[in-house]
Amino acid sequence: MREFDKDGLTLCKLQGNLFEESKDKTSTSSDIFIRRFMNSSIVSEFDTLAILDDTKTNDEIFDIVEDEFGESTYGTTKYDKEPLYWMGYLYRYFSYTYDLTSKQVYKIVKPTELNEMYYVYHTFDCSTAIERILEEKGLSFDINRQNDKLLQAIRKQHYEENISLSPMTKEDAHNLFSDFENDKSLFEQEEDYKEYIYDYDAVDNYISKQSKKGYILLSIIYKNDVIGEIRFKGIEDSCSEIGIVLKNDRYKNKGMGTIALSKALDYAKDILKLNKVVAKILKTNKRSQHIFEKIGFVFYDEDEHFDKFYKNI
């Protein structure tokens, strides 16, 4: 961990003041502003300490964030100024002392959670508050991190060598759906969730139906097993919407989706001749958002139900 020094203190105060002023000087909800800022280009100047040598005002930073993501009035909930200052300060302290990027810290704890934690933890020193937050989430940052990184690197290499994509055939579709399970995260409301029931005739006609809609389907293949699907939808002006689904929990949370998406981007560029892909992901589906962000997709818009991301290729 990095020692909390004078530079760290200055950064924490700068970000705390920025968050506090956001209540009066931004049009979005506090959650939306914080998410945009923590995923923005300007936040890298906080991560690298470059902001300490800059002369940008808070108003200029607000303008930079708005120019990057677009003007929006989405969301109405504004947090109080004291919690906002604490959240900004704590996020920066976390990033600085644990040597994590703002994006990484944001993925660990969201502003809605911090706002609820404020009344419990704001009287604690930041290091203790962060330790408690990590404990609540079952996380730790210790010497095992290097071993974890090595294991992840080995696993990534294995998947890169053994995962491939190919145009989906009827046989592939049956392989995929005969063992398919619906993912609750793909349903906005829990009551909308339904257990998937394999229907041979429906699957037999699946590819032709998707083709009529203008979709391009790729099978994700791992060791001769079809473990998922990549879908390109609505190709127009060298741009397409992209989506991914893995067939059951056996293949999730292992990095396999990330590898498959990376290979799909190569396919989109080299075979489909696309130069941009977009993804619409349910706000409740944080796992998919994480996968897309991990390979360079950038949040650019939202509506009531979906967060929207893009990547130039």
Residue 235 lies in a domain: yes
| pLDDT of 299 above 80 | yes
* Distance of alpha carbon 136 from alpha carbon 244, whole angstroms: 31
3-state secondary structure of 163: strand
Q: Report pLDDT for 305.
A: 87
Asked which of 111, 136, 161 is the last residue of a domain, the reply is: 136
Q: Report pLDDT for 284.
A: 83
Shared domain for 229 and 123, answered yes or no, is: no
Please state the domain count of the chain: 2
Shared domain for 216 and 284, answered yes or no, is: yes
Domain that holds residue 298: 151-312
Across 57-73, b (16+ Cβ under 10 Å) vs e yields: eeeebbebbbebbeebe
Question: How large is the average pLDDT for residues 45-63?
Answer: 94
Residue 145 lies in a domain: no
Shared domain for 172 and 214, answered yes or no, is: yes
Q: Report pLDDT for 276.
A: 96
Tens digits of residue pLDDT in 4-48:
999 999 999 999 999 999 999 999 999 999 999 999 999 999 999
Shared domain for 183 and 248, answered yes or no, is: yes
Amino acid at 140: S
Which phi and psi (to 5°) does residue 48 adopt? -95, 0
Asked which of 102, 136, 170 is the last residue of a domain, the reply is: 136
Q: How would residue 76 be classed by pLDDT, with cut points 50, 70 and 90?
A: confident
Domain harbouring 289, CATH code: 3.40.630.30
Shared domain for 162 and 97, answered yes or no, is: no
Question: How large is the average pLDDT for residues 114-124?
Answer: 93
* Distance of alpha carbon 277 from alpha carbon 251, whole angstroms: 24
3-state secondary structure of 258: helix
Kindly give the pairing relationship between strand 225-236 and strand 216-222.
antiparallel
Shared domain for 41 and 165, answered yes or no, is: no
| pLDDT of 145 above 60 | no
Residue 143 lies in a domain: no
Tens digits of residue pLDDT in 226-261:
999 999 998 889 999 999 999 988 888 888 999 999
Shared domain for 189 and 123, answered yes or no, is: no
Q: Report pLDDT for 70.
A: 85
* Distance of alpha carbon 1 from alpha carbon 130, whole angstroms: 13
Residue 264 lies in a domain: yes
Residue 144 lies in a domain: no
Shared domain for 46 and 165, answered yes or no, is: no
Q: How would residue 143 be classed by pLDDT, with cut points 50, 70 and 90?
A: very low
Shared domain for 117 and 174, answered yes or no, is: no
* Under 8 Å between Cβ of 198 and 180: yes
Across 171-203, b (16+ Cβ under 10 Å) vs e yields: ebbbbbbeebeebeeeeeeeeeeeeeeeeeeeb
Residue 186 lies in a domain: yes
* Distance of alpha carbon 37 from alpha carbon 211, whole angstroms: 39
* Distance of alpha carbon 216 from alpha carbon 194, whole angstroms: 25
Shared domain for 244 and 293, answered yes or no, is: yes
Which pairs count as long-range contacts for 92-96, CB under 8 Å and 24+ apart, including other chains? 92/8, 92/11, 92/12, 92/14, 92/15, 92/16, 92/46, 93/4, 93/8, 93/12, 93/126, 93/127, 93/130, 94/126, 94/130, 95/46, 95/47, 96/2, 96/4, 96/8, 96/11, 96/12
Tens digits of residue pLDDT in 165-212:
999 999 999 999 998 988 876 776 777 778 889 999 999 999 999 999
Question: How large is the average pLDDT for residues 91-98?
Answer: 94
3-state secondary structure of 283: coil
List all residues 6 or more positions away from 183 whose beta carbon is below 8 Å from its beta carbon: 245, 246, 252
Q: Report pLDDT for 253.
A: 81
Q: Report pLDDT for 78.
A: 94
Residue 240 lies in a domain: yes
List all residues 6 or more positions away from 264 whose beta carbon is below 8 Å from its beta carbon: 165, 218, 230, 242, 244
Quote the tokens at residue 150. Answer: 């090595």
Shared domain for 127 and 11, answered yes or no, is: yes
What average pLDDT does the structure give for the chain?
89
Kindly give the pairing relationship between strand 239-246 and strand 276-282.
parallel
- Distances in Å between the alpha carbon of 243 and those of 254, 267, 296, 309? 18, 14, 15, 11
Shared domain for 115 and 220, answered yes or no, is: no
Residue 117 lies in a domain: yes
Partner residues linked to 306 by β-bridges: 282
Q: Report pLDDT for 275.
A: 95
Asked which of 76, 103, 136 is the last residue of a domain, the reply is: 136
Q: Report pLDDT for 118.
A: 94
| pLDDT of 282 above 80 | yes
Question: How large is the average pLDDT for residues 271-297?
Answer: 91
Question: How large is the average pLDDT for residues 281-301?
Answer: 89
